[in-house]
Chains A and B, each alone.
Chain A
Amino acid sequence: GAVVSQHPSRVICKSGTSVKIECRSLDFQATTMFWYRQFPKQSLMLMATSNEGSKATYEQGVEKDKFLINHASLTLSTLTVTSAHPEDSSFYICSASMTGPVATEAFFGQGTRLTVV
């Protein structure tokens, strides 16, 4: 199946700094990628939909100035957590789907464990 690579898998940063997470589709072009946040023992919370060449669409309650998303090419989307605080500590997961007339599964990255100290 298609592969989505997410980097880094773990990152620890100091409060007030920014962290960038990369999501790459390795063997297919993803016009749309999704960013999720997962709290411990909870489901995935969709944060935003990342569209290549245009602005991301953020879900209600997600601060777009804090979670900057850039979809620079058909194979790369980045999520930057700006001025991180301990409450931003979480597991962040990206995914991509191959769109078309028949729905296909979403392919997920490995996830990034962010810890803000």
Chain B
Amino acid sequence: GNSVTQMEGPVTLSEEAFLTINCTYTATGYPSLFWYVQYPGEGLQLLLKATKADDKGSNKGFEATYRKETTSFHLEKGSVQVSDSAVYFCALSDPAGGSYIPTFGRGTSLIVHP
């Protein structure tokens, strides 16, 4: 079956530090990959996505590249801000695998200090 593995948090950084949140996946087909962000007390928002191998998703300074050879989709940002503090979820959707149900990782909490 499909699965998503994320690094455990919390990740604590100072403002302007470099961020990496690791995400690896297993899937039966050729999934699309997503990063979602959840701010405190809110629902999830799509941050970025990639639908095929070697695609790079980017948004608000965040980037992630779909690496089929390593089955990874690591999230990066060159310089984090306090406002980036949130929980980040890696997810996949694999309709060719027979299900449109998104599969989520456990989430990684990011805390950015001034």
Contact = CB atoms under 8 A, between A and B. Distances in A.
Interface of A: 1, 6, 32, 34, 41-44, 46, 49, 93, 95, 97, 99-111, 113
B43 A111 contact: yes
A105 B46 contact: yes
A110 B43 contact: yes
A44 B91 CA distance: 11
Residue of A93, A105, A106 with highest tally of chain B CB at under 10 A: A105
Interface residues of B, number: 25
A34 B44 CA distance: 13
Contact of B89 (A44, A49, A111): A44
Nearest to B9: A41
Contacts of B41: 111, 113
16 contacts: A34-B101, A42-B107, A43-B104, A44-B89, A44-B104, A95-B102, A97-B100, A97-B102, A101-B95, A103-B93, A104-B93, A105-B93, A106-B93, A106-B102, A107-B46, A108-B44
